[in-house]
């Protein structure tokens, strides 16, 4: 089966936005105009095509990213939906990891909101070229220039304004295209499917001319030859040449094209699709995909073409009631055919392609062959988890994994019956396969199952799915902060494990040093005991792996610590890997105790938007929550307060804020960093655990 479109006619894009900016509505409109969905869904009545998970419909938010394929101007556009809620960071990460370009949606009233900023930085990390769509131009208070100014201030980007709105709020009717220098007006009665091109309205002529000049200067700045032609001969690039220059600047990240519209009022979507085709990169614009060899650090890469060996990244695993496991994979090089064997080099397992599906928002299509640039779903793979590579068994490569954020909140779940116990274990195993940002562990002492995640909403949804999809009956504890432990100083201990059990003796002696590492460094082990055999060192490592799960302050996982095995002593007969494992565990605890152990708590970055009247109360309340105010700002007639507040003090904040402001203030919150807990609070946490 040949490919339907040449690789340069592919666009793998994501749509990113702050919650409620209108991502789902925009995606809906795209599917409508590209002919893939026959009924226009409305988020408000829960019929949106992309939001098909039960919980999503009930809660009216987009949780999982669905990949869908549509066609525009003889290009194949694969859209990967990304959630806007920060609790689903991992969904954003995994989408960004496989995208070639993104459309960022802004609310024309709110401008750049905190979550947009977060997602924007994540996209920076992956080097994803972007364009901006300023949505909701029909809303009261819509302010296009303000939104553009905020992109410069908050995101530090160079916005390239390609359109200006015609009218605003209820009078918003179309746009002026500054590249073609003409107006586009939508006919309301045809759900935005029809529009006409007209001359630029007279009252906008001057504004348009000056905006065009700004655009021209910014673009010419990117290309010396074009600039020379303009300066020396007064030649303005023709529209197509101008588009070429804009495309170049977008792909290098030098500029961010800015468009506007109103998805809800069916305006601005078709030019946005044109811009996706004109300015966002094709897979072959991105270059070869990088990875490394299965063993060792040797780097490897694969070119983006069908004749290279197959390599793809599994970026989403989900359970489908009809098909079973669906593994979404972005193909970076080569082709995949039903019946082929693939290697999962991370797991060292082979998987056979039994069935391959192309996903549309509300239907799926069985395909025999997939090509470079495609995003497909393999059905029935059992061993591959989110983030794993799939590749040609004869040419193994491991592609870079996703960054998985650390969980900050935890709950205890207890199955009601023995049968539920088994079902729960299976359900949690399955769910953590799908979602690497959710961690499950069993407390060694209490035997209780603990689920850790990114926020209250994240855990709510995990529990909800466990109950509904897997029919597990379980009691669920209240969410608690996922504390961590670390050390503030260094300490070295020498520990001997010598025990006589029956007629068998055990002996191991280790010298361990623990020291503090910077935040986010994790847990690092170094072996300097050159005389110890490899088996014994492996025993030490096993002991440390077990011991680091439960620190000496209150039994929380230990992070940002380096442990050095500085020396060891063996006995000819009585030493064994197990003896070293036990010695290391005891030595680690002893060393931690001597190295000023401390409890770490997650600090959240909080932004509150409140009417002036409640500003004092909001700040007073934040202070009472051990909050540290980091900024105050004015947006329109609202005040914006930003601060760092311990997560422990933020439970139930939504209700407090509501009653404090008569429901008029809003907030958003996201994890910032871990920090040592003040002594008095640490004592409280310890007392609760003991
Ligand atoms: N006035 C106006 N409202 C809009 C527009 N686009 C979307 N909305 C409304 O804004 C709300 C949020 O839109 P969604 O499309 O669900 O936003 P989202 O970004 O997908 O939100 P999540 O899925 O929750 O992340 C809905 O009530 C939409 O009807 C627009 O252009 N104008």
Predicted confidence (pLDDT) per residue in 339-372, tens digit: 999 999 988 899 999 999 887 655 678 899 999 9
| pLDDT band (50, 70, 90) for residue 257 | very high
Instruction: State if residue 271 touches ligand 1 by the CB under 6 angstroms criterion.
Output: no
Residue 601 pLDDT greater than 90, yes or no: yes
Three-point CA angle 101, 92, 156, nearest 5°: 60
Please check if 21 is assigned to a binding site: yes
Tell how far the Cα of 501 is from the centroid of ligand 1, in angstroms. 68
**CATH for 601-689 (3.30.70.240, 1.10.10.60, 3.40.225.10, 3.40.50.720):** 3.30.70.240
Tokens representing 408? Answer: 């900050």
Please check if 136 is assigned to a binding site: yes
Cα–Cα distance for residue pair 558/648, rounded to 1 Å: 19
Instruction: State if residue 465 touches ligand 1 by the CB under 6 angstroms criterion.
Output: no
Instruction: State if residue 77 touches ligand 1 by the CB under 6 angstroms criterion.
Output: no
Tell how far the Cα of 320 is from the centroid of ligand 1, in angstroms. 27
Q: What is the mean pLDDT of residues 106-119?
A: 85
How many residues are given for the chain?
690
What residues contact residue 340 under an 8 Å CB cut-off, 6+ apart? 310, 352, 353
Please check if 325 is assigned to a binding site: no
Cα–Cα distance for residue pair 675/669, rounded to 1 Å: 17
Cα–Cα distance for residue pair 578/464, rounded to 1 Å: 41
pLDDT the model gives residue 507: 93
Please check if 551 is assigned to a binding site: no
Higher pLDDT, 687 or 274: 274
Instruction: State if residue 24 touches ligand 1 by the CB under 6 angstroms criterion.
Output: yes
| pLDDT band (50, 70, 90) for residue 243 | very high
The count of other CB atoms within 10 Å of the CB of residue 471 is 10
Tokens representing 352? Answer: 């056979």
Q: Which of 525, 540, 547, 548 is nearest to 579 (CA)?
A: 540
Tokens representing 51? Answer: 């939001």
Instruction: State if residue 91 touches ligand 1 by the CB under 6 angstroms criterion.
Output: no
pLDDT the model gives residue 178: 97
Q: Which of 498, 514, 492, 491 is nearest to 570 (CA)?
A: 498
> CB of 93 within 8 A of CB of 14?
no
Our measurement of the distance from residue 97's CA atom to the centroid of its chain's CA atoms, rounded to an integer in Å, reads 9
| pLDDT band (50, 70, 90) for residue 636 | low
Please check if 138 is assigned to a binding site: yes
Q: Classify burial at 202, counting beta carbons within 10 Å of its beta carbon; exposed 0-12, middle 13-18, buried 19 or more.
A: exposed
Q: Could you identify the atom of ligand 1 that is nearest to the CA of residue 83?
A: 25
* Reported pTM: 0.74
Instruction: Give, using CA atoms, the residue closest to atom 25 of ligand 1.
Output: 19
CATH of the domain spanning 484-595? 3.30.230.10
Q: Could you identify the atom of ligand 1 that is nearest to the CA of residue 26?
A: 15
Q: Which residue has the tokens 């900023």?
A: 117
Residue 639 pLDDT greater than 90, yes or no: no
Instruction: State if residue 261 touches ligand 1 by the CB under 6 angstroms criterion.
Output: no
SS3 category, 334: coil
Residue 379 pLDDT greater than 80, yes or no: yes
H-helix or E-strand spanning residue 221: none
Number of helical H runs and strand E runs in the chain: 17, 38
Average pLDDT, the chain: 87
Instruction: State if residue 44 touches ligand 1 by the CB under 6 angstroms criterion.
Output: yes
Residue of 24, 28, 135, 666 with the most ligand 1 atoms within 8 Å of its CB, for mutation: 24
Tell how far the Cα of 457 is from the centroid of ligand 1, in angstroms. 20
Instruction: State if residue 22 touches ligand 1 by the CB under 6 angstroms criterion.
Output: yes
Tokens representing 369? Answer: 């062959």
> CB of 160 within 8 A of CB of 256?
yes
Instruction: State if residue 20 touches ligand 1 by the CB under 6 angstroms criterion.
Output: yes
Tokens representing 623? Answer: 């202070």
Q: Which of 260, 292, 295 is nearest to 275 (CA)?
A: 260
Instruction: Give, using CA atoms, the residue closest to atom 27 of ligand 1.
Output: 44
Tell how far the Cα of 25 is from the centroid of ligand 1, in angstroms. 6
Tell how far the Cα of 37 is from the centroid of ligand 1, in angstroms. 18
> CB of 581 within 8 A of CB of 544?
no
409-477, superfamily in CATH?
A: Elongation Factor G (Translational Gtpase), domain 3 (3.30.70.870)
> CB of 102 within 8 A of CB of 14?
yes
Instruction: State if residue 61 touches ligand 1 by the CB under 6 angstroms criterion.
Output: yes
Query: What residues does CATH 3.40.50.300 cover in the chain?
Result: 7-285
Q: What is the mean pLDDT of residues 309-323?
A: 85
> CB of 85 within 8 A of CB of 457?
yes
Instruction: State if residue 68 touches ligand 1 by the CB under 6 angstroms criterion.
Output: no
pLDDT the model gives residue 187: 82
Residue 385 pLDDT greater than 90, yes or no: no
User: What does residue 191 show for φ and ψ, rounded to 5 degrees?
Assistant: 50, 35
pLDDT the model gives residue 190: 66
Instruction: Give, using CA atoms, the residue closest to atom 13 of ligand 1.
Output: 22
**Helical H runs in 324-482?**
418-434, 456-468
Q: What is the mean pLDDT of residues 303-310?
A: 94
| pLDDT band (50, 70, 90) for residue 120 | confident
Tell how far the Cα of 24 is from the centroid of ligand 1, in angstroms. 7
Q: Could you identify the atom of ligand 1 that is nearest to the CA of residue 261?
A: 31
Instruction: Give, using CA atoms, the residue closest to atom 4 of ligand 1.
Output: 264
Cα–Cα distance for residue pair 271/26, rounded to 1 Å: 13
CA distances from 237 to 217, 219, 222, 230 (A): 11, 10, 13, 8
What beta strand segments (E) does 146-192 contain? 159-161, 163-166, 174-177, 182-186
Beta bridge partners of 631: 642
SS3 category, 480: strand
pLDDT the model gives residue 469: 85
Percent of the chain with pLDDT over 70: 92
What residues contact residue 120 under an 8 Å CB cut-off, 6+ apart? 16, 104, 130, 155
Instruction: State if residue 84 touches ligand 1 by the CB under 6 angstroms criterion.
Output: yes
Q: Which of 193, 245, 244, 240 is nearest to 222 (CA)?
A: 245
Please check if 267 is assigned to a binding site: no
Tell how far the Cα of 20 is from the centroid of ligand 1, in angstroms. 5
Please check if 81 is assigned to a binding site: yes
Residue of 16, 20, 260, 668 with the most ligand 1 atoms within 8 Å of its CB, for mutation: 20
CA distances from 504 to 73, 221, 301, 414, 579 (A): 78, 80, 54, 40, 12
Whether the complex's predicted ipTM is more than 0.85 is answered with: yes
Please check if 480 is assigned to a binding site: no
Instruction: State if residue 34 touches ligand 1 by the CB under 6 angstroms criterion.
Output: no
Residue of 264, 265, 267, 361 with the most ligand 1 atoms within 8 Å of its CB, for mutation: 264
Instruction: State if residue 82 touches ligand 1 by the CB under 6 angstroms criterion.
Output: no
CATH of the domain spanning 287-399? 2.40.30.10
User: What does residue 470 show for φ and ψ, rounded to 5 degrees?
Assistant: -110, 0
Cα–Cα distance for residue pair 347/384, rounded to 1 Å: 8
Class of domain 7-285: alpha beta
Q: Could you identify the atom of ligand 1 that is nearest to the CA of residue 44?
A: 27
Instruction: State if residue 23 touches ligand 1 by the CB under 6 angstroms criterion.
Output: yes
| pLDDT band (50, 70, 90) for residue 59 | very low
Instruction: State if residue 262 touches ligand 1 by the CB under 6 angstroms criterion.
Output: yes
Query: What residues does CATH 3.30.70.240 cover in the chain?
Result: 601-689
Query: What residues does CATH 3.30.230.10 cover in the chain?
Result: 484-595
Instruction: State if residue 170 touches ligand 1 by the CB under 6 angstroms criterion.
Output: no
Q: Could you identify the atom of ligand 1 that is nearest to the CA of residue 28?
A: 15
Percent of the chain with pLDDT over 90: 53
Instruction: State if residue 75 touches ligand 1 by the CB under 6 angstroms criterion.
Output: no
Please check if 498 is assigned to a binding site: no
Please check if 22 is assigned to a binding site: yes
Q: Which of 557, 559, 552 is nearest to 597 (CA)?
A: 552
Tokens representing 169? Answer: 């709020």
User: What does residue 67 show for φ and ψ, rounded to 5 degrees?
Assistant: -100, 135
Our measurement of the distance from residue 428's CA atom to the centroid of its chain's CA atoms, rounded to an integer in Å, reads 21
* pLDDT digit string, tens, across residues 153-197: 888 899 999 999 999 999 999 999 999 999 999 987 666 677 889
Q: Which of 626, 551, 565, 544 is nearest to 596 (CA)?
A: 551
Instruction: State if residue 139 touches ligand 1 by the CB under 6 angstroms criterion.
Output: yes
Tokens representing 348? Answer: 């060292």
The count of other CB atoms within 10 Å of the CB of residue 234 is 7
Tell how far the Cα of 634 is from the centroid of ligand 1, in angstroms. 24
Q: Which residue has the tokens 């459309």?
A: 103
């Amino acid at each position: 089966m040949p490919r339907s479109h040449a690789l340069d006619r592919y666009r793998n894009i994501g749509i990113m936005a702050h919650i409620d900016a209108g991502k789902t509505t925009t995606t809906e409109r795209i599917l409508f105009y590209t002919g893939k969905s026959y009924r226009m869904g409305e988020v408000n009545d829960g019929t949106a095509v992309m939001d098909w998970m039960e919980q999503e419909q009930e809660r009216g938010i987009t949780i999982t990213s669905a990949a869908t394929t549509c066609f525009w101007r003889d290009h194949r556009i694969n859209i990967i939906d990304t959630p806007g809620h920060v609790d689903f960071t991992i969904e954003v990460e995994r989408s960004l990891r496989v995208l070639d370009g993104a459309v960022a949606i802004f609310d024309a009233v709110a401008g750049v909101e905190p979550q947009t900023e977060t997602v924007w930085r994540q996209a920076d990390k992956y080097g994803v070229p972007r364009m901006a769509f300023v949505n909701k131009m029909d809303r009261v208070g819509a302010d296009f220039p303000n939104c553009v100014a905020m992109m410069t201030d908050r995101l530090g980007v160079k916005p390239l304004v390609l359109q200006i709105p015609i009218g605003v709020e209820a009078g918003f009717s179309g746009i002026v295209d500054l590249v073609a220098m003409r107006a586009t007006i939508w006919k309301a009665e045809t759900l935005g499917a029809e529009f006409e091109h007209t001359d630029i309205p007279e009252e906008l002529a001057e504004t348009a001319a000056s905006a065009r000049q700004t655009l021209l200067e910014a673009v010419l700045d990117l290309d010396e030859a074009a600039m020379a032609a303009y300066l020396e001969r007064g030649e303005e690039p023709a529209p197509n040449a101008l588009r070429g220059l804009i495309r170049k600047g977008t792909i290098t990240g030098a500029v961010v094209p800015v468009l506007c519209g109103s998805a809800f009022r069916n305006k601005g979507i078709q030019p946005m699709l044109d811009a996706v085709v004109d300015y966002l990169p094709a897979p072959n614009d991105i270059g070869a995909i990088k990875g490394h060899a299965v063993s060792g650090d040797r780097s490897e890469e694969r070119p983006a073409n069908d004749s290279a060996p197959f390599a793809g990244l599994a970026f989403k695993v989900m359970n489908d009631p009809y098909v079973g496991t669906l593994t979404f994979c972005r193909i970076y090089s080569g082709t995949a055919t039903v019946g082929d064997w693939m290697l999962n080099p991370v797991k060292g397992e082979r998987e056979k392609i039994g069935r391959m599906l192309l996903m549309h928002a509300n239907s799926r299509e069985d395909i025999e062959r997939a090509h470079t640039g495609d995003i497909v779903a393999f059905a029935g793979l059992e061993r591959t988890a989110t983030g794993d590579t799939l590749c040609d068994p004869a040419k193994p490569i491991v592609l870079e994994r996703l960054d998985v954020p650390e969980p900050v909140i935890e709950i205890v779940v207890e199955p009601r019956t023995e049968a539920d116990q088994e079902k729960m274990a299976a359900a949690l195993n399955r769910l953590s396969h799908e979602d690497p940002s959710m961690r499950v562990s069993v407390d060694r002492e209490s035997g209780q199952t603990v689920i850790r995640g990114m926020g209250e909403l994240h855990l709510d949804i995990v529990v909800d799915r466990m109950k509904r999809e897997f029919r597990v009956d379980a009691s669920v504890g209240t969410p608690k902060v996922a504390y961590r432990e670390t050390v503030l100083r260094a300490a070295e201990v020498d520990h001997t494990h010598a025990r006589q059990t029956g007629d068998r003796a055990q002996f191991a002696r280790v010298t361990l040093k623990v020291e503090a590492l910077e935040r986010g460094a994790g847990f690092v082990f170094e072996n300097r005991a050159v005389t110890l055999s490899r088996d014994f060192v492996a025993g030490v490592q096993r002991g440390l792996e077990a011991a680091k799960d439960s620190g000496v302050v209150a039994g929380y996982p230990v992070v940002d610590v380096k442990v050095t095995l500085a020396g060891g002593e063996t006995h000819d007969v009585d030493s064994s890997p197990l003896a070293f494992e036990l010695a290391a565990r005891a030595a680690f605890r002893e060393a931690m105790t001597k190295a000023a152990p401390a409890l770490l708590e997650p600090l959240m970055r909080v932004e509150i938007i409140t009417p002036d009247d409640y500003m004092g109360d909001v700040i007073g309340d934040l202070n009472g929550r051990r909050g540290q105010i980091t900024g105050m700002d004015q947006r329109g007639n609202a005040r914006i307060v930003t601060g760092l507040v311990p997560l422990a003090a933020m439970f139930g904040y939504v209700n407090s804020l509501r009653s404090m402001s008569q429901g008029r203030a809003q907030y958003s919150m996201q994890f910032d960093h871990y920090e040592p807990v003040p002594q008095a609070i640490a004592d409280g946490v310890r007392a609760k655990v003991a």
